Structure 1
Amino acid sequence: MTTRAASHAGSWYKRSPSVLALELEEYLAAVPSSINQQELPIPSARVIIAPHAGYDYCADNAAWAYKSLDLSNATRVFLLGPSHTMYLSGCAITGNAKYATPFGDLIVDKATVAELQATGKFDTIPHDVDEDEHSLEMHCPYIYTMLSKHFKTPEEHPTLVPVMVGNTSPSTETEYGNIFAPYLADPTSVFVVSSDFCHWGSRFQYTYYLPNSPSSREGRSLRRRDATPTDPPIHESIEKLDRMSMDAIEAGKHGGFLDNLQQTNNTVCGRHPIGVVMAAIDGLRDAGRVPSDRGYFKFTQYSRSSDPVDASDSSVSYASAYATI
């Protein structure tokens, strides 16, 4: 088995370990020591959602999720991200033994990979596709950084389980949620869900706009020749769309999140990994394996790459959240 190279180092984030470490430490230091009147990390916050764009755009946002993450009992980290590089109708798992970062290698959990492959439901990510895909790699330097804070040596670091999630149907997300549920129930497992939020603009084929009205059914897609809307400005409409999706995730029902996406078609690129994890939480809740006050995401940070003014502009949104299990 091979090592997946840190193929986006030097372009999407810094290649130099010392420079990258300084950058991530600055982002983490900028996050308050407590959120929602709780000291960080949040006890039992074993699941986070965090963005995967270039670090210049979103690493400051992702710091809010990573500083919330409870690694105190962790022995393995599941990393679920969307596929930008190959078509999948289900999930695929790495065939590599290690994921390289500028700081050192993250070791893939061979035993857990074998267990998942034994279900017959997981493809193997081809090596070249694995290295081309950024949604998993962009989390690895942050994961290594946080593990280094909690464990004395790299040999003690929890192992990594990288999973690429494809264009899954609602029923498929439920099926994979049932597979991941026992791992999610295990207090030694941590889940990192990789997702950006709204990709807005003609280059993303999504220019949906919500005017200031009580119903999103009155929304419409903007065209370049349309007059620039001001009630509200486009960037406020984008935030409203994102907040609707975030509210649906916080409500804690997989079906509710799917309803939101069907209603607005919001281009949440990690909607399928989020859906799989929400389905897993649903299953645990239905089985009485999650306390009534847990299993709900709380969003802590929201930002965008830019604030579009007219229909020719574009932006990508980023959000960070945690859930206690």
Structure 2
Amino acid sequence: MSMDAVRRPAAADRFYPGGTAELGSMVDTMLAEAPAPAFDGELLGAVVPHAGYPYSGASAARVYRALRGRDIDTVAILGTAHFGKAPKLILAPQDAFQTPFGDVPVDAAVRDALAKAGDCVAVSAELHEREHSVETQLPFLQRVLPKARILPIITNLSDEAAAAAAGAALAGVLKGRKALILVASDLSHRPSAEDARRVDLATLESLQALDPGFFLRTCAVLMELGVPELHCAWCGEGAMAAGLHAMLAGGADRAQLLHYTNSGLVLEDPDEAVGYGTMLFLRTGTPATGGALRYPPEERKALLALARSSAEAYIMRRETLWPRLSENPRFNMPAGVFVTWWEGGGVGKELRGCIGVMSPDQTVRNGVAEYAVRSTQDDPRFAPVRAEELAGLAAEVSVLSPMRRSDAAGVRPGMGVELRLGARRGVFLPQVWERFPEKEEFMAMLANHKAGLPPGAWKDPAAEIRVFETESFCEA
């Protein structure tokens, strides 16, 4: 397939030193100083930054330290396409990529197989010519996996369906090989260093749910907040979503954050930053249990205080306290949220209003702020709450964890469950277990009464099951 047999360096002397000795000294020092990460299970892939080495090299080295000496033949690198439209996986036609350390061979057999995978793949030497996102990974790879071949890919696809198709195609050609997937992505671009931290730790934590759609939704919700100078929430979200789909197809069941920093912290410049994060994706055989959202007492207290202050601001001054970016990155993840107000001192006394939403259409912080107000004003069962009533009411906040994939065996009492089969869909909240405590009956009722399917449809191999938890807490 090669046009010119070797793709020449485009990032040398810009993103990393162009001299062999200087580059070797920098890479070797970063690898030596990087802590050896501890993790359980088989390493299937990772997120690494693609910025200049003075900014993100020390962070990237943590991943490459984990790769040193591993039995890997092919490294698929999914980078961001910065210099043109790339709504597909874009392959390079060359048979090697050159760095100051020498040539890195392309796995031509895998590349050619992927090129035939369908409409989600294309080949372009031009789009790869100036691109740095793949190239910045190569000197590290040459040090830690000197015999490995690469599969260089760039993309900026933008929707989940395209990411799913691309991920399936990539997983298909890597199946049965000693392969690893690297997603070469930076994080947020150009907000203040503090806002970058708030945004980046939210997107990184969203990946813990191992759901590409939830990750993309997190990025979209954060971009809707109007954060000053935020150009993107993740530089290469399409590559990340496609790579995650491929890793899930390979059995990934755990994501582990290694390190986070941003250029504002590195350069001590608080006014503008680009975020950098590293994360491992593992196959452990024991998927993480429980939702990604588990709030310690101080965070519960903060969300309850937000609910009350939001209701007070609206009822007393007609002021709304949303949308805003939270100082706590965990509150900047999207989630379904319900806010309930109780008379008589707490949960289970006398209901005064309850409104919320199951879909993760806004951040936890903004969902609590909005539905704290709407539940006092818009619940059709009650008259609007008056200012003099508010002090006598207790607020309860309920947050839904991100839905995550499961199978029938993974469904347990206390979980909320979504069942999909064909065009049919049904959801039961966790409290439905109080009515149907036996799993067989619970799932049969979900299939038949909520999804309009035969009672045994949940056992169909084609059925899609997602589970979630609801975490609720109330003012004393």
Scaled to the shorter chain, the TM-score interval is: 0.7 to 0.9
Counterpart amino acid of residue 82 in structure 1: T
Cα distance in 2, alignment partners of residues 69 and 147 from structure 1: 7
Alignment deviations for residues 3-49 of structure 1 (CA, whole Å, 9 cap, x no partner): 1111221222111112111111111111223x34x4xxx76213111
Q: 2:71 aligns with which of 66, 70, 73?
A: 73
2:232 maps to 1:298: no
Distance 1:67 1:4, change over 3 A: same
Structure 2 CA distance, aligned partners of 1:58 and 1:106? 22
Shift of 1:71: 5.4
What SS does the aligned partner of 2:44 have? strand
Among 86, 95, 98, the alignment partner of 1:97 is 95
Question: Which of 157, 161, 164 does residue 171 from structure 1 map onto?
Answer: 161
SS in 2 for 1:315: coil
Give 1:220's aligned residue: none
**Change over 3 Å in CA distance of 1:255–1:120 after alignment to 2:** closer
Tell me what 2:183 maps to. 193
Give the counterpart of 1:272 among 218, 238, 257.
238
Paired residues in the alignment total: 269
Change (3 A) 1:195 1:276: same
Instruction: Report the AA paired with residue 47 of structure 1.
Output: G
Contact 1:77 1:190 in 2 (8 A): yes
Query: What's the counterpart of residue 123 of structure 1?
Result: 122
Aligned-pair CA distance for 1:137:
0.8
In 2, distance between residues paired with 1:96 and 1:22? Answer: 28
Distance 1:161 1:115, change over 3 A: same
Residues of 2 paired with 1:242 and 1:63: CA distance? Answer: 19
Q: Does the 8 Å CA contact 2:157/2:239 hold for their aligned counterparts? A: no
The residue that corresponds to 2:296 in the other structure is none
Question: Which residue of 137, 140, 159 maps to 2:138?
Answer: 140
Give the C-alpha shift of residue 94 in structure 1. Answer: 0.4
* TM-score normalised by the chain length of structure 2: 0.54
Instruction: Kindly indicate whether the alpha-carbon contact (under 8 Å) linking 1:71 and 1:190 is maintained by their aligned counterparts in 2.
Output: no
Note closer, same or farther for the CA distance 1:309–1:50 as it changes in structure 2 (3 Å cut): closer
Larger RCO of the pair (alpha carbons < 8 Å, separation 6+) = 1
Which residue is equivalent to 2:53?
55
Partners of 1:46 and 1:23 lie apart in 2 by 27
Q: Which residue identity lines up with residue 211 of structure 2 in the other structure? A: K
Please give the alpha-carbon distance, in whole angstroms, between the structure 2 residues aligned to 1:69 and 1:171.
Answer: 31
Residue 106 of structure 1 contacts residue 159 of structure 1 at CA under 8 Å; is this kept in 2?
yes
SS at structure 2 position matched to 1:62: helix
* 1:299–1:320 contact (8 Å) kept in structure 2: yes
Pairwise CA distance, 1:304? 0.9
Q: If you compute each CA radius of gyration, which structure gives the higher value, 1 or 2?
A: 2
| Unaligned ranges ≥5, structure 1 | 149-156, 202-233
- Between the aligned partners of 1:55 and 1:72, the Cα distance in structure 2 is 23
Offset at residue 53 of structure 1 (A): 0.8
Deviations 1:247-290 (A, max 9, x none): 001221112112211210252112111100212234x2xxxx62
Counterpart of 1:138 in 2: which secondary structure?
helix
Kept in 2, the 8 Å contact 1:301–1:320? The answer is yes
Q: Conserved in 2, the CA contact under 8 Å of 1:47 and 1:69? A: no
CA deviation string 1:115-137 (max 9, x = no partner): 011123321122x4322111111
CA distance in 1, matches of 2:64, 2:173: 20
When the two structures are superposed, what TM-score results if normalisation uses the length of structure 1? 0.77
Report if the CA contact (8 A) 1:52-1:139 is conserved.
Answer: yes
Gap change, CA 1:187 and 1:295, over 3 Å in 2: farther
Unaligned runs of 5+ in 2: 224-231, 284-476
CA shift digits 1:141-187 (9 cap, x unpaired): 11111113xxxxxxxx1211111112331100011111122345535
- Name the SS for the 1:257 alignment partner: helix
Quote the offset at 1:110 in angstroms. 1.2
- Answer whether contact 1:6 1:137 (CA < 8 A) is retained: yes
The corresponding residue for 1:28 is 31
Aligned-partner SS, 2:134? helix
Q: Secondary structure at the match of 2:133?
A: helix
The whole-number CA distance in structure 2 between the counterparts of 1:87 and 1:141 is 27
